Amino acid sequence: MTSPVNINRRSIGVNFTETGEAEVLLWAPLCNKACIRLLDSNRMHALQKQEYGYWHLRTDQLRPGDVYSFVLDEKEELPDPASLSQPEGVHGPSRAIALHDFQWTDQEWKNPLLEDYIFYEVHVGTFSDRGTFRALEKKLPYLKSLGINAIEIMPVAQFPGERNWGYDGVFPFAVQQSYGGAKDLQHLVNACHNHDIAVVLDVVYNHFGPEGNYMSKFAPYFTDKYKTPWGDAVNFDDAWCDGVRQYFIENVLMWFRDFHIDALRLDAVHAIKDFSPMHILREIREHVNQLIHERWKMHYLIVELDLNDTRYIDHPERGGYGMDAQWIDEFHHALRVTSGEGQNGYYSDFDGIRHLAKSYRDAYVYDGIYSPHRQKKFGVKADEHPGFQFIVFSQNHDQVGNRMSGERTSQLASFEMQKMLAGAMLVSPYLPLLFMGEEYGETNPFLYFVSHSDPELVENVRKGRKAEFAAFHLQGEAPDPQAEETFRQSKLQWELLEQDQNKILFSFYQSLIALRKELPALRHLNRKQLDVSWNEDTNTLQLHRWDHEHHVLCLMNFSNSRQTVSVTTEQRWKKVFDSADPQWNGPGASADLLTNISVLALQPESIILYTSEYV
């Protein structure tokens, strides 16, 4: 028996047929005997060996809710590598779940066009005091009122303990128990769809976490052909890689099919090492396309990528991997340096407003030019790729959490600059992403936190964090990642929304998001219909975007003093938004109209939007 991927149902692990029987499929090619032990009855059932290292059993003795483990060669008793639930954590037994039992009510839901997405990144554990899917669900009306139509959830694959960013997951199919588990995630997705909000899930296919990682005891899930920051690479192209590839393809399909997830964000795909004739991302793309075709439901694949390599987002017909979009950190880096960020670490490659203007125009800053930080030419041009293939942000979990003290923008910049950064991101010709809490100026940090049980591992994590900050020449000690207080400090303070300035900032974001949706020149992400100019002496930038006869002119002053800009036009420009307006607690509004040659005074750290219709 081979085990081809089944588009319509999960094949690996423990699954249930329509008649209620359990079908068990385990990949353990190097063992001589495999059994499943049912803990409630303490009964052992032998699995039958099939081709290509698979072991199979069909039985009516295993029911949803039962707890079980696998026993290999009558020695090691281990949780299921394809477990859907780990009720006792990463070291405990697995629990069988019937995913198809959930009663969905989202039949009328239609995934929006990717170009219409407004992302909002969420860490479930710190988004609310309770830190659960159910608590997040209660905030959906709030997110909808903000203008969000896509929440991006940081990884929920089961990780050690109850405090983690999620990138230390070791059970890619199991939903974190402390968040509420699989059924509560299904409930959240269903509720999101009923609020007209898409759900993006962050998944990690480039490594497994260090604690509770039993994968190599089952099969060659790793290869020493390549090294990654986390050790041996996941085995996508070495001996026995077929079973590994199936494992991750099945995972992708499960999220889309069984949890109704709308898009996946694949973490750090540049760390996926695969020199197969068909790259694993391309193979994932083909299976997702088949699922879309059979179910008539659209799903997107988004990647985090640090290579400035369009091969990842190129269509397969052009030799690409067919990913729908990618994060681009370079817009963020150029934006932060423009706003006054020190040029340390990876910021050393960015010189401010000139590079920000280049990112507005070219997406990648480094598109074949020399990178002093890397000491080589880096990247390729992305001229032919539409704006919706790039996701930009002024802050996200990495850029906040990888600071030694986890400071958000609210702690690093003035109120005017907070508005300035939001505006610069939301008027870009790319997809915008907000990080939870930025819309009202959350002041709590977002720190790095873990809850490992191995003292040696905890100490290694502490040392690793310290080494990371050395590149930024930072002094002092970072908060202890293992301490519960570090996690508690990172929780959102929803009561801040009761304060006047936080209310104003929320309304500012709300209005600017609404304007982006309303104005065709901002909503349509045509990178060919864009002009940008800048002045390094005054740290000002002019961004002109248009769609047919609809035009928008964005004037930005990143300096901390008033600056004058000249606008030469034969058209009449009407102001539609001004971050310096007193209604946003600004120092004073600028001219409502621009005609002919206008010399305009821009308030410090401000952005103004004008519209015009060319007839």
Is the pLDDT at 345 greater than 90? The verdict is no
pLDDT at res. 1? 34
Q: Is the dihedral of CA 307, 309, 311, 314 positive or negative?
A: positive
C-alpha span between 144 and 163 (Å, rounded): 28
Are 499 and 537 in a shared domain? no
Q: Classify burial at 312, counting beta carbons within 10 Å of its beta carbon; exposed 0-12, middle 13-18, buried 19 or more.
A: buried
**Element housing 403 (H / E):** none
pLDDT digits (tens, 9 = 90+) for 85-142: 999 999 999 999 999 999 999 999 999 999 999 999 999 999 999 999 999 999 999 9
pLDDT at res. 443? 98
Q: Which of 238, 304, 349, 416 is catalytic?
A: 304
Q: Is 484 within the bounds of a domain? A: yes
Is the pLDDT at 83 greater than 90? The verdict is yes
Distances, alpha carbon 592 to alpha carbons 28, 522, 575, in Å? 70, 20, 5
User: Does the annotation place 401 within a ligand binding site?
Assistant: yes
Are 217 and 250 in a shared domain? yes
User: Does the annotation place 266 within a ligand binding site?
Assistant: yes
Q: Classify burial at 287, counting beta carbons within 10 Å of its beta carbon; exposed 0-12, middle 13-18, buried 19 or more.
A: middle
Q: 465, 481, 514 — which closes off a domain? A: 514
Are 469 and 594 in a shared domain? no
User: Does the annotation place 329 within a ligand binding site?
Assistant: yes
Are 508 and 585 in a shared domain? no
User: Does the annotation place 398 within a ligand binding site?
Assistant: yes
Question: Is the CB of residue 52 less than 8 Å from the CB of residue 11?
Answer: no
Q: Is 102 within the bounds of a domain? A: no
pLDDT at res. 2? 41
Binned at pLDDT 50, 70 and 90, residue 615 comes out as: very low
pLDDT at res. 545? 97
Are 536 and 489 in a shared domain? no
Are 126 and 185 in a shared domain? yes
> What residues contact 65, with CB distance under 8 A and at least 6 apart?
95, 96, 97
CATH number, domain at 475? 3.20.20.80
Q: Is 34 within the bounds of a domain? A: no
pLDDT digits (tens, 9 = 90+) for 233-278: 999 999 999 999 999 999 999 999 999 999 999 999 999 999 999 9
Is the pLDDT at 472 greater than 70? The verdict is no
Domain count, the chain: 2
Q: Domain span at residue 562?
A: 529-613
Is the pLDDT at 466 greater than 90? The verdict is no
pLDDT at res. 423? 98
pLDDT at res. 495? 98
pLDDT digits (tens, 9 = 90+) for 395-424: 999 999 989 999 999 999 999 999 999 999
Q: Is 109 within the bounds of a domain? A: no
Mean pLDDT of 499-528: 97
Q: Which of 168, 184, 258, 267 is catalytic?
A: 267
Question: Residue type for 294, please?
Answer: E
What percent of the chain is predicted at pLDDT more than 90? 89
Is the pLDDT at 3 greater than 80? The verdict is no
Are 535 and 510 in a shared domain? no
Mean pLDDT of 145-168: 97
Binned at pLDDT 50, 70 and 90, residue 474 comes out as: low
User: Does the annotation place 551 within a ligand binding site?
Assistant: no
User: Does the annotation place 331 within a ligand binding site?
Assistant: yes
> What residues contact 515, with CB distance under 8 A and at least 6 apart?
522, 576, 577, 609
Are 464 and 608 in a shared domain? no
Q: Is 524 within the bounds of a domain? A: no
C-alpha span between 250 and 447 (Å, rounded): 33
C-alpha span between 570 and 434 (Å, rounded): 36
User: Does the annotation place 303 within a ligand binding site?
Assistant: no
- DSSP assigned state of 90: T
Q: Where are the beta strands (DSSP E) in 420-514?
A: 431-435
Q: Is 451 within the bounds of a domain? A: yes
Are 207 and 268 in a shared domain? yes
pLDDT at res. 475? 64
Enumerate the H helices of 482-600 as residue ranges: 484-489, 500-518, 520-523
Are 510 and 549 in a shared domain? no
Q: Is 152 within the bounds of a domain? A: yes
Q: 483, 514, 545 — which closes off a domain? A: 514
Q: 487, 514, 541 — which closes off a domain? A: 514
In the three-class reduction of DSSP (H, G, I as helix; E, B as strand; rest coil), residue 226 is classed as: strand
CATH number, domain at 566? 2.60.40.1180
pLDDT digits (tens, 9 = 90+) for 179-229: 999 999 999 999 999 999 999 999 999 999 999 999 999 999 999 999 888
Q: Is 49 within the bounds of a domain? A: no
Question: Is the CB of residue 56 less than 8 Å from the CB of residue 22?
Answer: no
> What residues contact 475, with CB distance under 8 A and at least 6 apart?
none
3-state helix, strand, coil in the chain (%, to 5): 30, 25, 45
Binned at pLDDT 50, 70 and 90, residue 470 comes out as: low
Distance spanning both ends of the chain, measured CA to CA: 68
| 468: annotated active-site residue | no
Please indicate, yes or no, whether the overall pTM of this predicted structure exceeds 0.85.
yes
Are 196 and 285 in a shared domain? yes
| 216-252 exposure pattern, b = at least 16 Cβ within 10 A, e = fewer | eebbbbbbeebebebebbbbbbbebbebbbbbbbbbb
User: Does the annotation place 265 within a ligand binding site?
Assistant: yes
pLDDT at res. 463? 80
- Mean pLDDT of all residues belonging to the chain: 95
β-bridge mates for residue 535, sequence order? 540
User: Does the annotation place 260 within a ligand binding site?
Assistant: no
Are 566 and 435 in a shared domain? no
User: Does the annotation place 268 within a ligand binding site?
Assistant: yes
Distances, alpha carbon 290 to alpha carbons 11, 279, 285, 528, in Å? 16, 17, 9, 32
| 51: annotated active-site residue | no
pLDDT digits (tens, 9 = 90+) for 19-59: 899 999 999 999 999 999 999 999 999 999 999 999 999 99
β-bridge mates for residue 424, sequence order? none
Question: Residue type for 341, please?
Answer: E
Distances, alpha carbon 470 to alpha carbons 154, 230, 344, 404, 475, in Å? 26, 19, 10, 10, 8
C-alpha span between 68 and 236 (Å, rounded): 29
